[in-house]
């Protein structure tokens, strides 16, 4: 189990290390924040994200009220699967508040060896052991393909943010695959510069094993892994659909969620991606050219082998606005299918995210981010905690500035 500690008190860090460091490496603290809550910044949070901890231990003692809000934020933002709070023994109110904030366990201070171990054991049992090994047999990666029939509809932005959000909500091993062999941009949106790409995997698939696969895949700070598009465009005509199908099958053995950013062209690669997916999100913007293109692609999509259920194709309206010229009912009538979900028009936060190489869903104020989160929650069945006004960091910083 991978842990993180948030405490101003150095003794607290050392005590936990001593109590849980059993030498067997079963428990490792890989991130530490020693600053007061009011000085915790995005950089600290990014460091937590990079470690992707199973549990974060938050020492409330120095500032219990802000500490509780911080613990709540950690849970809501999906920064850990469990948060354990530590604080004074003699404060039933505080314990109650901590529990209401969603903390998994409360440790009375000073820490007692047995209590700490028992509580971590409970966390371990509740959250389940997560390892870098493959999912159990039969537990094949659920695969979502994101497709849009017209350039610039927002499929790459959605694929990236969906993958990040699936992982954040479930903490499951998630792979994003950029199948746009000509002009893939997922790495750009994540601010990554991968050395290898899906082209290497396609080329060397005959000798691929888990080790070689790992070398082609890069892990992003958000916790998801990326199989990126090649920097030099690959001629998709030379790629054999059967090989793509085999690659997908192989990857499903290694991941619990796979999100594919499909190219716009209906080539062999795209069709194999459809065939290998459990669900396809077809994105359209609410304008005639885009809707018309969807209607042209739908018959082909519906004819994809291996899929009998109608609802495997999910129509998503991107850049949605309640005042849009073509209402949802009209789109549904034209395409003969229900709209599964809408993603609101949010130019500023999507463009800021591209420029910063940081997924939009990390911007808690983005309405687009909120919509992706809602959709991911529906897909996974994991509930999203309601957003508090201003967000925790906002309140921490306003508190900081008012005290400084």
Q: Which residues bind ligand ATP (CB under 6 A)?
A: 148, 151-157, 185, 264, 318-319, 343, 345-347, 350-351, 354, 368
Handedness of CA 3, 51, 166, 226 (dihedral sign): negative
Nearer to ligand ATP, 117 or 374 (CB): 374
Q: How far is the CB of 293 from Mg ion (least distance, A)?
A: 14
Nearer to ligand ATP, 218 or 346 (CB): 346
170 touches 380 (CB < 8 A):
yes
What HEC string does 77-128 produce?
A: CCCCCEEEEEEECCCHHHHHHHHHCCCCEEEEECCCHHHHHHHHHHHHHHHC
Q: Which of Mg ion, ligand ATP, none does 264 bind, CB closer than 5 to 8 A by kind?
A: ligand ATP
356 touches 348 (CB < 8 A):
no
CA count, 13 A, side-chain hemisphere, 184? 32
Q: How far is the CB of 160 from ligand ATP (least distance, A)?
A: 8
Tokens 């808690």 belong to residue: 364
**Cα angle value 270/217/135 (rounded, 5°):** 85
Q: How far is the CB of 156 from ligand ATP (least distance, A)?
A: 3
* DSSP category for residue 382: P
| Tokens found for residue 62 | 């120095």
Neighbouring C-beta atoms of residue 203, cutoff 10 Å? 14
Q: How far is the CB of 206 from ligand ATP (least distance, A)?
A: 30
Residue with the closest Cβ to Mg ion?
156
Nearer to Mg ion, 153 or 366 (CB): 153
Q: Which of ligand ATP, Mg ion, none does 53 bind, CB closer than 5 to 8 A by kind?
A: none
What HEC string does 25-91 produce?
A: CCCEEEEEECCCHHHCCHHHHHHHHHHCCCEEEEECCCCHHHHHHHHHHHHHCCCCCEEEEEEECCC
Residues at the interface with Mg ion (CB under 5 A): 156
Nearer to ligand ATP, 62 or 326 (CB): 326
Q: How far is the CB of 142 from ligand ATP (least distance, A)?
A: 22
Nearer to ligand ATP, 69 or 264 (CB): 264
| Tokens found for residue 356 | 């910063």
Q: Which of Mg ion, ligand ATP, none does 358 bind, CB closer than 5 to 8 A by kind?
A: none
Nearer to ligand ATP, 73 or 368 (CB): 368
Nearer to ligand ATP, 89 or 321 (CB): 321
Which run of H or of E encompasses 337? none
Cis peptide before 110 (omega within 30 of 0): yes
Q: Which of Mg ion, ligand ATP, none does 354 bind, CB closer than 5 to 8 A by kind?
A: ligand ATP
Q: How far is the CB of 106 from ligand ATP (least distance, A)?
A: 41
Cα(334)–Cα(356) distance, integer angstroms? 38
Q: Which of ligand ATP, Mg ion, none does 70 bind, CB closer than 5 to 8 A by kind?
A: none
Nearer to ligand ATP, 152 or 303 (CB): 152
Cross-sheet strand order for the sheet of 55-59? 28-33, 2-6, 55-59, 82-88, 105-109
Q: Which of ligand ATP, Mg ion, none does 303 bind, CB closer than 5 to 8 A by kind?
A: none
Q: How far is the CB of 15 from Mg ion (least distance, A)?
A: 50
Q: How far is the CB of 262 from ligand ATP (least distance, A)?
A: 9
């Amino acid at each position: 189990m991978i842990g993180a500690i948030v405490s101003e008190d150095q003794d607290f860090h050392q005590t936990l290390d001593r109590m849980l460091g059993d030498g067997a490496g079963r428990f490792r603290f890989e991130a530490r924040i020693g600053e007061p809550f009011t000085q915790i910044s995005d950089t600290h949070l990014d460091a937590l994200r990079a470690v992707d901890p199973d549990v974060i231990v938050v020492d409330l003692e120095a500032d219990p009220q802000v500490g509780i809000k911080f613990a709540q934020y950690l849970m809501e933002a999906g920064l850990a699967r469990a948060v354990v709070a530590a604080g004074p023994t003699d404060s039933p109110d505080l314990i109650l508040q901590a529990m209401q904030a969603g903390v998994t366990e409360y440790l009375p201070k000073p820490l007692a060896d047995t209590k700490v171990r028992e509580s971590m054991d409970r966390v371990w049992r509740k959250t389940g052991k997560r390892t870098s090994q493959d999912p159990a047999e039969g537990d094949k990666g659920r695969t979502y393909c994101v497709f849009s029939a017209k350039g610039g509809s927002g499929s790459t932005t959605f694929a990236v943010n969906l993958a990040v959000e699936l992982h954040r909500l479930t903490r499951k091993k998630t792979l994003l695959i950029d199948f746009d062999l000509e002009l893939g941009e997922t790495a750009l949106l994540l601010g990554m510069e991968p050395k290898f790409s899906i082209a290497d995997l396609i080329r060397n698939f005959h000798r691929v094993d888990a080790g070689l696969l790992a070398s082609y895949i890069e892990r992003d700070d958000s916790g998801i892994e990326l199989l990126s598009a090649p920097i030099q465009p690959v001629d998709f005509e030379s790629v054999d659909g059967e090989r793509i199908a085999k690659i997908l099958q192989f990857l499903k053995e290694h991941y619990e969620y796979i999100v594919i950013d499909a190219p716009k062209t209906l080539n062999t690669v795209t069709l194999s991606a459809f065939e290998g997916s459990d669900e396809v999100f077809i994105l359209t913007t609410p304008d005639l050219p885009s809707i018309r293109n969807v209607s042209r692609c739908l018959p082909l999509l519906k004819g994809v082998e291996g899929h009998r259920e109608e609802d495997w194709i999910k129509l998503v309206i991107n850049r949605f606005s309640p005042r849009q010229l073509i209402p949802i009912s009209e789109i549904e009538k034209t395409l003969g299918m229900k709209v599964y979900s809408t993603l609101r028009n949010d130019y500023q936060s999507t463009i800021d995210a591209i420029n910063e190489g940081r997924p939009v869903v990390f911007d808690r104020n983005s309405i687009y981010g909120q919509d992706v989160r809602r959709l991911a929650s529906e897909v996974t069945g994991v509930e999203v905690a309601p957003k508090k006004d201003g967000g925790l960091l906002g309140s921490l910083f306003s508190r900081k500035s008012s005290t400084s």
